[in-house]
A and B are shown apart, each in its own frame.
Chain A
Amino acid sequence: MRADVRDKLASLPEDERVLLRPLVDTSPRFYMVAAVLAAVVVWGFVAYYLQVRYGLGRTGLNRPEYWGIYIICFVFFIGISHAGTLISAILRVSQAEWRRSITRSAELITVLVIGFGAIQPIIDLGRPDRLLNVVFHAQLRSPLLWDVISIGLYFTSCTIYLYVPLLPDLAIIRDSGIKAPRLYRFLAAGYQDTVVQRARLERVIAILSVAVIPIAISVHTIIGWIFAMTLRPMWHSTIFGPYFVIGAIHSGIAAILVAMVVLRRVYGLEHYFRAVHFDYLGKMLLILSCLWFYFTFAEHLTVLYGAEPAEMRTFWAKISGRYAVPFWTMVGGCFLVPFVLMARRATRTPAGVFIAGIAVVIGMWLERYNIVVPTSVNPIWEMEAIGRYLPSWIEISIMAGALAGFTLLYMVATKFVPIVSIWEIKEARAVVEEVAERVRRYSSGFTTPKLTDSA
C-alpha cells in the first residue's frame, strides 16, 4: 500500500476504514489463489476449444443421454444466483434490519454467477455458431426460448439492482480518492448523497426489490418447466416449477453463507457478519432444507404410489439402482446435514453454517444430476432404455473452469466494491429510533395509551 493511500484510508471514519481496506490492500495469498484459479479457467477454455473443434463427441454424451454436465451446471449456477437478489429483496421488502450487512455480498453472487449459468446451454450446443437463430427464428412455444427471455430480464434487473444500491458507496470511494479516481468518478455517476438524491435512491431500490422477486421466481420456474414440458418419466411433473425455485433458494442461501464465512475470515469482517446473521440465515437454511425434503418426498411418493412402469424404472434407478449413491448423498447434503447442524443454536455458528453450506451446495448439484441423468438414460420406450453416462475430462474441465471463473471474478470484485454496504450500515445506526417506533407500533393493539397512562 502506498503511503498517501494509507494516510487517506487512516483519515476515514471507522466503517470506511475497515470496509475499503480490501480495495487498496491485497495480500500475496490473494494473488496466489487468483493465479491458481486463473490457470483452471485457462484449462477450461482449452477443453472448450477442443470440443468446438472436434464436436460434442468429445463429451461423454450419447443417445439417449443427450444432456449431461453442462445442463446440470446450468441449473446449478442459475440456482446459486437466487442467493442474492431474491434473499436481499425479500429482506428489504420485509424491512428486516439485520439484512444491511449481507445484501451486498449476496447481490454480487447473483450478478457474477448468472453469466456462468447462462453460458452452459451455449457450451452444450452442437452449433454455437448458430446461436443467433434463437433471435432470427425464435419460436415462442419453446420453453428454451422462455428461458432465454427470462434469464435476459433477470440478468438485466439484477445488475441494476446491484448497481443502484452501490451508488452511495461508489461516491464514498470517489470522494476518499483512495483508488482509480477516474473510474469511480464515472461509476458514481455524479451521486452527491443529497437529501433529494437519497430519497430517490431509496424509492428506486424499493421498486426494484419488489420487481425482482417475480422475475427471480420466474427464472427458476421456467428452468424446471424445460424438463417438465417433455413427456419423460419423472420430468413430466407439475411440481417441478416450485420445486426448482425452492432448490434454487436453498443452494443460494448456502452459497451466501459459505461466502460470508470466507469473507469474514479473510477481510476481518467480524463486526459486520455477526453471530446474529449466521443465526438468522442458519434458520432460513433450516426451513429451506425442510421444504426441500417435503418437495422431494412428495414427488417421489407420488411416483411410487402411481407405479407407472416407465416412471418406476427411473425411480428404482435412483433409490436402489445405479444412481443410489448420488441420490442418498443428495438427501444427506440437502437435508440431513443442514437439518442436524442448523436445528441447534450451538451449531448455527460460522463453522457450522460453513459445513452445512458446503453440504447443501454439493447436495444441490447432485440433485440436478439426479434429475437429468437417471431420466435421460431411461427413455419412456423401454427397448431404448440402455443408456449409460460417464462425463469425459472435457466436461469436467469446463465445469471446473466455470467454478474457478466465478470464484475468481467474485474475488476480484471484492477489490473494487466494498463487500458490505457502507451507507446502509451507517443508515442502520441512524434509524434505530425509527425502528424502535415501528416495533412499538406493532404492539399498540395490546397496550393502549390509556392503560399505559394509568399504569
Chain B
Amino acid sequence: MDIKGRPEPPMGLLRRLDAGARAGFPAVFTAFLIVLAAVPVGAPGLIAALALPGIFFWTIFRPAAMPAPVVFLLGLLQDLLSFAPLGAGVLTLLVVHGVALRWRDVLVRQSFLATWLIFCAFAAGATGLGWGLEAVLGWHLPPTTPGITQFGVSVGLYPMLAWVLTRLHTAMRRAELAL
C-alpha cells in the first residue's frame, strides 16, 4: 500500500482508556441500573422494568456496545437478582435484542414518539413472554396484575431514561467525531 496520507495518531494509553470507557459504558450503566433497582422503594418488578429500556435503546442506537453476549450477561444478572426462574429474563431480553437489531435500520430513523410507541409494543411482548415463561417454568398460572404493573412502569420510565441516554449518546458521538 502506497497511499500517503496523514498517519493515524498512535493509540496512547489515555485514548485507549477513553475508547474502552465509551465502548463499555452502555453495558456497565445498564448493569448499574439493574443493581440499583433492587433497592427497596416499594415498587415490585422494577428490575425487569429498568433492564428492558436500557437494552432496547442501546441495541438500536449503539449496537456495537450492546452485543448479544452482553445482553445475555445482563439477563443473567437480572434473573439472579430478582429471584425469578433462571433463564426467563435472559430469553426475554435476548428476543427483544434480536428483534430490535433486525429492525434497527427502520427504528433508528423514527421520531422519539414513534420509538416510544414501538417500545410499548416491545414491552408488551416482553411482558407476555415473561408471563408465559413464568407459567411454564413455575408450572402455575401467575397473576396478571404484576405483569401489567411491570409493563406500565417500563413504558412510563422509557421517556425519562431515553432522554438521559440520548444526551449521553450524542455526547459520546461528538467525542468520537472530534478524534
Answer whether A and B are interacting partners.
no
Residue ranges of A at the interface with B (Cβ–Cβ < 8 Å) = none
